[in-house]
Structure formats: C-alpha cells, structure tokens
Structure 1
Amino acid sequence: MTAYTTNPPALVVVAHGSRDPRALSTVRQLLDGVRALRPGLPVHLGHIEIDAPLLPDTLAALDARGTGAAVLVPLLLGRGHHVMRDIPEAAAGARLRTRVAAPLGPHPLLADTLHARLTEAGWRTPADGTARRATGVVLAAAGSRAPESRADTHRTARLLAERLGVPVVPAYASAAAPTVPDALRALAARGRTRVAVASCFTAPGRFATQCAAAAPWIASAPLGTHEAMARLLVHRYDEALSLPVPAAAEPVPA
C-alpha cells in the first residue's frame, strides 16, 4: 500500500456508461469496494457517455472543490479508442493536475477474476487428457477497431489459458473478428465441444447478455464487483503515481 502524507490525488474511476441500469449499480458497488480497500482515498466516478456524471463534469467539480490532482483509472479492459483518445483528451482539458492510468487489462488480477467467475458458473478443469482435448473457452470481449485493444485481449486470453490448462480463444461482440458464434464453431471443428464462455465485461449489459446466450455449455457472469477488480483499480492508481509524470496526460503503459 502506498503511504500518503496529506491530500492524496483523487482516484477517478472512468466507466463507459450504459443504458442498462444494472451497469451503473454495479459500478457504484465496485467503487464502494475500492473505498473499503483504501479508506481516506477520495474515490469518484466519471462516465465517457450516457450516464451521469460525465467525466468532464466530475473533473470540473473536483477543481471547484479545490482538489489539486487526480488519477483517472479506466474501468476498461484494453487500449481502445476511449483509453487512447477520449480519456486523455478529457484529462488534458481539465484545470486540475491529472494522470491517466493504464486500463485494467491485461493483468494477472483480471485473469484471476475471469477464472473465479468461470468457477462460480461451474467450471472444473478436466481431470484427464480426453476431456481436456474436448474442452475450450471463448473469451468474450466487447471489441474494438484498435489493434492495441485486440492485442490486449489476446494477452488476457493467454493469461487465462495458463490458469485453465485449455485453449482460450478471444472473440468479440462488435467491431472485431471473430464473433463469439464464429469462435465456438471454430473450436467445435477442432473437436472441442465442451466450451465455456468467459465474459470479459465489467458489468451486465447488452453485449454480455448476447455473448452468454451463445454459450453451448456454461457462461460466466461479468467481472462486476469481484474483490480482485477493486484491487486492480487501486493497483493501477498506485502504479500511475509511481511513474514519472507523463506528457499531455498520456495513458500509463500497461
């Protein structure tokens, strides 16, 4: 844990925003988990779109209160457009001093959460070689046109595969290929007919529901309020503060 003197920079969790009310409820519970891990740390929420408060409004409110600095931690799982452009631009336009942390993925704590959610859904590592050769996992993510985002999802899939001992194939709900149904068909063509879908989504919503519905066996719940997610947010905050001040509020390398 980082030792603070007085007035630590505020931690601003930057969520995407969703029309599904379960998403906002989940994010608020996750922030409560962060506050429990780090009492005394000011923790705030800002959204990229749809939900209030929007990120610029959160930053303006912090400035109006006399908050000197903030670390923006994306509640996002890879380096898509929001992480590479939208969040740094909002940070650069703020009056208070800002740093932008790396997104949550890839990271071992994210893989731990995915593993835990699969286990809750009924996952058990196959006990023998025959069962293992018939088993696989599709890592279902939102998708992005940014190659950096796809690279991050592939790295997360590799981290999860190391824990599960079976192939983990990345797939996407939008903007990238393969889709979840395509990945399932590809695994079936290789004889892997016992396939789980690991939901790589921070909260319930349309994409998470759509991907889970395609699962031929089990599908895990979104990452949500798992304790490791709160730990990962705090880790990204501490990590951002430990590095030299980045130029123009650029995101900290993952």
Structure 2
Amino acid sequence: MTDSTADLMSQISRRLASQLSLVSLDGRRRPGPPALVVVAHGSRNPRALSTVRALLDRVRDQRPGLPVHLGHIELNAPLLPDTLAGLGTAEAALVPLLLSRGYHVKRDIPEMAASSEVRARVADALGPHPLLVDALYARLVEAGWRTRMKEETRRTSAVVLAAAGSRDLESKVDTNRTAQLLAERLGVPVVPAYSTTAAPTIPDAIRSLTASGRHRVAVASYFTAPGRFATECAEAAPWIASAPLGTHPAMAELILHRYDQALATPARTAA
C-alpha cells in the first residue's frame, strides 16, 4: 500500500468513525459535541498555515467525531469571524494557538466571539503547561541536545527560550514559567528572550550567557509554527536551534486539554 493510499484510507476511517459516533444504538442521531475552534494568529509564511492544518489533523486523529475548525486573527483565511459565522448559533470552545496570555487572548478573541451568534467559551492560552515542555524538550533533542552529559559539559551549557514577545506583563510571567519548567527538565539555565517588543533580545541573552561561562548555548524555538521570527531566532543561535513546536503530539494533546477545560467553565464574554 502506498503512502497516499494509506492516507486516504485513514481519512475515510476517520470520517466513518466520526459519523458512527453520532448514531445511538437505536439508530437515532444524537447531538454531537461542541465544536473546537483553534484560533491561530496568522502568518505570511505559507509553511505556517500548512503546519497548523497538519496539527489540526492530529487533533482529529486523537478525537474522532469532534468537529474541528480553524480561524485566524489576521493575515490568513479563514479569519475567525468568518469561521464563527459559519457555525451559526452552535456551541463551541475557542482554543488559542498562542503560548501565553496577551492582548489577543484577553481581548481580541473574546470580542470576536461575543460579536458572533456562537455560544462560545474561550479557553486559556496553551502555556505554561508541562506538555509544552515535553514538546520543547523533544525538539531540542532532535536538534542535537544530549540527553546525558558530563557535569563539566552541563556547567557550560544553557538554553535561550526564544519567544515572540508582548507588552503584556502576564505574557512574560507565562514565558518565564515555561523557561523555569524547561530548566528543571534539562538541568541547565534557561533564559527567556524575545524576538520583538520585550527584553532581553535573543542576541542579548546569548551574550549574557556566554559572558557567564556558558559557551554551549542552544536556542529553543518557542513558536507554534515556522515564520520570520522563528527563522531569525534560529539564525542567531551560536550552537543548535530547535524547530518550532509544530505538529508534535503533545501540542494536539494540549489543544484537547484546553478544549475540555473550557467546556467545564462558564462562557467568557468581552470585558
């Protein structure tokens, strides 16, 4: 069986399972679960959209029968208001594909939801969460990080957690917490740094670590998908740089976790 045939058979099986899950034993159609709307930021990089779509396929694979939709805050179609308009008055949970709190999570997404007819709940940002650390760790190992190292090597190693940056102070709190969790996993210092808006910058963080005797500095890409910021951060790495979190299985698992959390809480509306 070719890869394309196997993919087609997988899609057919997934759709069949989805349809069967909506039929009870007596043949009556039962109501489906609330829709999951994954809210991505949007990017001019075409690889970002393809990565997000592949991630949503992983989510569908993990939970057959769940209606999964995509909406963007800007730059890419479908835009979130259009996705919500297509759902009419349905119930849905909106899960931001964003790694920390900030204006988009606290204002933009709730306001777009409130402007629609959808009975919407807005989930928390993905981070901080141990599942993100699982994905970050795996991406670093893929890039060449040693899972075992001598103490001398450990004393000269460090990681820069490269994030997008935000003026929102809670966003920095969230990124700092992720850096702390990753440091506990790796056993070396992890310094959060930013590609825009916030300080320190990635080059400044690298220089500071090098000056302190940490000559093996890896850059951990704290981005959900490829894009300009992720590329620039990787280019600044003096040693290894990990790939964006992308379609790592922990990302799909975390999206579903935030979906479940959102359904267990009252709906949010814009302030």
CA RMSD of aligned residues (A): 1.5
- What percent of counterpart residues are identical? 71
1:27 counterpart residue number: 52
Q: Deviations over 1:13-46 (max 9, x none)?
A: 0000000000000000000000000100000000
Q: Is the 8 A contact 1:78 1:152 kept in 2?
A: yes
1:52 counterpart residue number: 77
Structure scoring higher RCO (CA < 8 A, sep ≥ 6) equals 1
Amino acid across the alignment from 1:45: L
1:18 counterpart residue number: 43
Higher radius of gyration, 1 or 2:
2
Structure 2: 5+ residue stretches without partners: 1-20, 23-29
Query: Deviation at 1:58?
Result: 0.2
Structure 1: 5+ residue stretches without partners: none
Query: Deviation at 1:249?
Result: 5.8
Amino acid across the alignment from 1:145: R
Q: Is the 8 A contact 1:126 1:135 kept in 2?
A: no
Choose which of 236, 240, 243 in structure 2 pairs with 1:218: 240
Q: Is the 8 A contact 1:99 1:249 kept in 2?
A: no
2:62 counterpart residue number: 37
Q: How far apart are the structure 2 equivalents of 1:130 and 1:68?
A: 58
2:216 counterpart residue number: 194
Q: How far apart are the structure 2 equivalents of 1:127 and 1:230?
A: 30
Query: Deviation at 1:126?
Result: 5.3
Query: Deviation at 1:7?
Result: 1.8
1:240 counterpart residue number: 262
Query: Deviation at 1:248?
Result: 1.7
Q: How far apart are the structure 1 equivalents of 2:38 and 2:270?
A: 15
TM-score by length of 1: 0.93
Choose which of 202, 225, 230 in structure 1 pairs with 2:252: 230
Amino acid across the alignment from 2:41: H
Q: How far apart are the structure 1 equivalents of 2:58 and 2:250?
A: 10
TM-score by length of 2: 0.87
Q: Secondary structure at the residue paired with 2:224? A: coil
Q: Deviations over 1:55-76 (max 9, x none)?
A: 000000111xxx5201000000
Q: Deviations over 1:83-137 (max 9, x none)?
A: 1110010011110200000111100000100000000001014522221110000
Q: How far apart are the structure 2 equivalents of 1:192 and 1:105?
A: 27
